[in-house]
Amino acid sequence: MVRIPPAPPTHADLRVAVVRSRFNEEVTARLASGAVAAFRAAGIPAAQIFELEVAGAIELAFAADLAIRDLGVDAVACVGAVIRGDTDHYEHVCRIAGDAIARVALDRQVPVAFGVLTCDDEAQALARAGGAAGNKGTDAARTALELALLARATRAHGRS
């Protein structure tokens, strides 16, 4: 058995993106700020952090794919907020957004972290966007970085 050790935690050479939906902007702006702060705290220079905005949660995957393809990023944190309404539209948006973001990560073989809140009301969303429940944008950025390091480590131990 070969255990893959984590790559040294050097992030300064990584290029990353935060892709944010504008829908529920008060919440998503806080999530994006948390993600950018996490990337900066990890030592990634501001010039290597790209921020993209899209209309809503369903569009996040397309923008993540663009960031990978055209900007050459090593990891993406997708952040958004879908708040339950009076119709079943919520269920469809959550499913489509989650499936599409996962597909980009698997198709591109680049970490794309799901930082999309799926909440019953705005109070729950705000609590998870820098409130009492932390900042899920920060969590998404940290997850993306962890996976980027794992990808680097596995490549280093792969076949030549």
The identity of residue 88, as a single letter, is: D
The domain ranges of the chain are 16-153
The encoded tokens of residue 120 equal: 């019953």
- pLDDT tier at 159, thresholds 50, 70, 90: low
Percent of the chain past pLDDT 70, that is, above it, reads: 94
> In CATH, what class is 16-153?
alpha beta
- pTM for this entry: 0.93
The identity of residue 6, as a single letter, is: P
Residue carrying structure tokens 């393809």: 69
Q: Please list the active-site residues.
A: 89
- CA atoms in the 13 A half-sphere facing the CB of 30: 16
Which tens digit of pLDDT belongs to each residue from 20-33? 999 999 999 999 99
